[in-house]
């Protein structure tokens, strides 16, 4: 009696850096995104090293599909080192350096704009400070709004990007919490300032 042969997978082990993970939920989402692809086995994602490791049968799927799946989940994986010998650690270090620099730029922009926002907002509680400014309360509120927009949508853009992708997949994580909290406060304040809505 002939037995049906079970096809064996021609697996290749891949380890690549993943950008944008900040918590255990992120790790679980990346693992799930990779695991559901046909031809992928033994997926492991490490938050500490910011790497995803898995085995892939390239006759059934491709790294492009893996990259797209992770991108749809709100993260980014980089396979550029695969064509370079002994470049794994170097590439990961470079990517980490670039990501850290981007975080620093966003942080310093937020600090630069938040300091005057804080001083003006707190200063308005003292009558003497208010008299020193040649603007009405309405104009001051609009100045604060203009200073706040870059803080929310430039320094905080990563939270909203991941929140939107999570929403499309009907999931949530800590990025969703930050985006909903800051976004709702921003919308409420903007309505009050621009349209004098009394809510």
The set of long-range contacts for 81-84, using a CB threshold of 8 Å and a minimum separation of 24, is: 81/16, 82/14, 82/16
Per residue in 25-59, pLDDT (tens digit) is 888 889 999 999 988 998 999 888 888 999 988 88
Is the model's pLDDT at 91 over the cut of 70?
no
| Residue 112, φ and ψ in degrees, nearest 5 | -60, -40
pTM as predicted: 0.66
Q: What is the pLDDT of residue 87?
A: 46
3-state helix, strand, coil in the chain (%, to 5): 60, 15, 25
Q: Could you tell me the residue ranges of all domains in the chain?
A: 11-83, 100-195
Identify the residue with better confidence: 6 or 182: 182
Task: Please compute the mean of the pLDDT values over residues 143-170 and round it to a whole number.
Answer: 89
Q: What is the pLDDT of residue 155?
A: 92
Per residue in 125-153, pLDDT (tens digit) is 787 777 777 788 888 889 999 999 999 99
For 11-83, the fitting CATH number among 3.30.70.100, 3.60.21.10, 3.30.420.40, 3.30.565.10 is 3.30.70.100
Structure confidence at residue 162 as a pLDDT band (50, 70, 90): confident
Structure confidence at residue 23 as a pLDDT band (50, 70, 90): confident
Summary mean pLDDT of the chain? 82
Identify the residue with better confidence: 169 or 75: 75
Is the model's pLDDT at 100 over the cut of 80?
no
Sequence-ordered list of residues with C-beta below 8 angstroms from that of 139, at least 6 positions apart, any chain? none
Distance between alpha carbon 142 and the CA centroid of its chain, in Å?
29
Rg (CA), the chain: 24
């Amino acid at each position: 009696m002939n037995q049906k042969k079970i096809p064996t997978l021609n697996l290749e082990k891949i380890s690549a850096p993943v950008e944008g993970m900040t918590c255990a939920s992120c790790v679980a989402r990346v693992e799930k995104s990779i695991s559901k692809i046909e031809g992928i086995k033994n997926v492991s994602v490490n938050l500490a090293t910011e790497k995803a490791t898995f085995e892939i049968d390239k006759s059934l799927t491709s790294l492009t599909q893996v990259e797209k799946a992770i991108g749809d989940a709100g993260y980014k994986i980089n396979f550029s080192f695969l064509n370079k010998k002994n470049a794994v650690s170097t590439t990961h270090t470079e990517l980490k350096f670039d990501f850290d620099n981007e975080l620093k730029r966003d942080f310093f922009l937020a600090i630069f704009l938040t300091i005057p926002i804080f001083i003006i907002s707190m200063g308005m509680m003292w009558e003497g400070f208010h008299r020193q400014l040649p603007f009405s309360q309405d104009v001051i509120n609009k100045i604060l709004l203009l200073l706040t927009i870059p803080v929310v949508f430039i320094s905080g853009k990563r939270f909203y990007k991941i929140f939107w992708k999570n929403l499309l997949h009907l999931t949530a994580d800590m990025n969703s919490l930050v985006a909903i909290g800051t976004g709702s406060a921003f919308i409420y304040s903007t309505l009050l300032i621009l349209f004098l809505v009394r809510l």
